[in-house]
Structure 1
């Protein structure tokens, strides 16, 4: 009778790990008979389980790695337990040892796979550093290695073909390479359409591989893929031979929550898959008696057996079946591991995309989920989303970066003119170490260490990671609700990652956020020009959905006498959040109506206003017909949220000629009111500094006006007396630098150097270790002092 997974039932569940079980392996013989089971977890521990009757008891816990365990291999001839980790090391233990015999160091990143070497006392390892290494360990404990270089991305899989005296490696570059014992490349196999995650050498010089493309591929001795084994609906993470059932029987597991069995010669799937009550079945191993072990994302090690005597009691089996039924129900309500109820509704399409090709899943009232793509300024329907199919990053819910797997991959803008760079991070990793690695890799100022690390901490705690899902979950500091946060994303003004307690900087996201987060930081490298600055800085991005929600909330609290309006008025106003809003008089009239709301409810309206005034024709109509500046300028004495929105509005108004003329006509009043602000969040400091900086740009382009230079210099001097945020200080110093290049330059210099406090602060920012690390402040300070 042909083997079948239908004969297998749960034998037992091994509970002890506190996080995902990323690796399982079969150890040596146990004194009581049978084999031990080894398991490694994201909780940084490796556990050894000894058989006792039909159960396994935890007999040893190894905790020598600094980060999660990614792979375990038992080197049988030496009776060595070999553990690979995200900390880039390999620990080797004797089977009953409590401390490592050796720790193999040298890989530059996570070691994610291991196998025996061709020679005794040797191992081959694969790493995210794009290399494999063959380690040789002498009887005296001396370690040598050769490096296999050729993959262009992480090496996820290794195998040893002893009969052929060859090694095989598979990587995130979708390639499979053969190597000789000297580490020389022999052959390249192509066929997988995504990361290669597992390799097994079979008889007659054949090979089996699996990967993120959700298929197993059977390669003949000539390197031709002659068979594909299809059945998994998502990433395949692991596979193993079940030689108790025959050399041709292999089991596999993956992101579709299943364990499957195959005849690799015929290509047939043997029986129905075993569904697990967990999203990810990370690893699988087979015992010599035919039992199958799996490690899952729910932290449980499970053993399945086809022998009735080794199968679990009816009660335990019933509990398992109930958990599986619950998981099946969840899968019906999920798309790629995301609950349909957590997906945004059609209102999410009111928000502009952040990049060409961005995709967004949207739940419609009829229960369907549709995918939209941001193209040429519009959300275009791609089609219905029906669930995971074929293993993609979006359907798996996993984050891949350069072929490596992370819990989070954040976007970080380094400047206005360069594309975002990626900040990868795994739960359990030291946030400061991840931030330090990120800073070194991208040659960024050391002063950003704490803010990047704190950003990681804030955005990685208990958050699920979903690709391109619409932003949700920002905490409203005014209402306590997870709703609109004014100014929560400011693409073109880099805040330095500081948290604004009123608005939330764009680097701020609560733990409830499922968005792929982005840090807005304007990193400037040595050699960059600091002044004169000729490009106006604007505050551009807005989450229209949350602005609309906040306005609806406020509107519901108003009476008609206080300015309550119909929803159609709110929907008309929200059109002005478009990147290039049209001159729609209906929308402008609606905006003016809302600007008459009570001051306590005004900030979301001014948030829309600051976007609208970037458009010069819109600014002209608002100013000529409604004198809107007379409405908003008095709010500079109001709440901190209103102050922030108004200053941003004024800064944006300066980006065109009409706006500059009108702002300058009110300049003495504005400078006086802004000058009254003596404290505030980092974002408010940055907004004020940006307003001053934009004022100075016009003075460098045209003939400088002495009265403007004087009041702007006075304003910047006052700001520097209380501003603490380094980005705000940097922009303030740029503003001064701009003015030193104008016809009023000497007057400006005299005005600045006459203020001892400001000069002391400039020297402090230039010379202290903090400002030395904040590279651009140090450099602009040096340039300013040289000019003085």
Structure 2
């Protein structure tokens, strides 16, 4: 029997989860790691012992590192490059000579969570923005669009120019020359990792706890079972046939000849990353921030006392497993450990005194190895640690919510760190439910009970903090959701009815229903109704009394250094309600942007209302990046839905003055990058605000043409239009933006055709309601043809 893997050493240095690993070429036998502590580190083997030492540390990202890879040496970089992908949506490249990045790659609008390198300096990246990008010499050569959810994994096959992408949409796609040649289906959950065996075969691992072996012709030739939870990472051993995997079940598994031959439990919740070194040693990165190296070579394994200490640490750890339906008294006692296991890694729960202990069978050592005490989990299933995947993202809970008996349940995702009220608000917006259910849903979340039935009674809508009437950002005074589909969200007027085309009738504005809309004289009479658009769309101010009521309430709760004195609050209340804020009041308003995120939404609501005033608009723009950064950070993923929506509305309303329009155009890359990035998992109101922002950019480009920015804006619009769950009003606005950009512009038309926009427009041309969506789509198809 071949030697089993044993602990070689613990590599300590990172302060948070180690999310990514890759073997290095220089130094030989070393590896690079990327972490949530926002650093990447290169580790090299010590000359005189079996440990590793930190040889190089690099930083430069503004958020955690999710992917790393190594570029082989070339004439410019004789020691190669280290590439890191981050939650800040960028990719940085580092040389061994400097801790500062030598290259910065920008273009993704979501977390860059996977990287791979190929021949001739090619880099392939995958992102939460659902795309993969091909880079050469720090330039994006091509964007691969086709997945409907995050691209968690990428790989490059040797010699053939074939690229692979694995996605949260449960599929793997094979690309050649920028075209999707084949889609591999079979996994029942997110594809999290890919590993190339040869030019004709590859492996994939998934959140469905399986590994699959594929032929490039499309067949799945084998499925490997062994993990009991998400498999996050997979790597091929030097023989090119066997492999290792790591996952949420806290284990590293070694697979040889199609079988799991060894399972190594870790004293931590997740084994995020694995990689294989050229000498056959295996490296794991885990959620406790520790890197562990395992070896089969007797000369490279740790001393016996260190091995024992590692086993004791594993045995002393706790395993979150939901056992509420299991009677502890029914579990077997220690005598059950006298019988051998059926397979390596087999788990067994054993009752010991008043506790439950978990053991794994080690086929190599022919014994049961204690891996920890079993405790109740915070959610999930018996086979999980509480994390549940929904729409490509991980949550602590995903509840089933039944609206009516016999109707399919709706999914309510929730993370413990979230405010229950914002999670409830997101749920209502996404499912177009009445605002009257808000408190009932939020209270249900707090009760942490699986399953709920919302009754027909309409509970009183109250503020969870005061018991008074709830203030809902962006709503009318009654706290209701926006009017029925097709109503104008700015004026509250009824559904837009397209012009009959009569010569005597003036063209109506498709957004407000008024006759003030003046289309381009060069357009045909049919096209006049929609584009090119020459007026910005702005969000009106509502409910100043309710907004200020919230400001007063939250002012009593913030820490002393952020609190305004009562007189200043009263002055702000008087002036905001009367619409008479002066330039002297603006520093105070900007200072309120420093409030904590969970109480910031009324401040953003004030700002988006008053920024239409020339003095406020001018002041905001004069403070430059300081004010912009304060607003942009609440657009980014992770911010609450109300803050995202209101921040987008602030940027829309900046267009109301020429100063603000110039400011938005100057900082367009920063603004649009953050805005498009918040599309995933967005609510209806966020989608409408985002598409209004893009529409305003298109109007600005009609007024002041910019040949460099226009194709970028077209690309951003098409990216938004490809979102699978876009609200009809948002679809309409993005179509008008595209029509405005493409009308009488051959260059923009060519860009749109190259991005295959026709396939997106064709089904929309038959969209049932509102009619304006199908009409706009038909007009755009006519333009493109």
Normalization by structure 1: what TM-score? 0.49
Normalization by structure 2: what TM-score? 0.49
Structure exhibiting the larger radius of gyration computed from Cα positions: 1
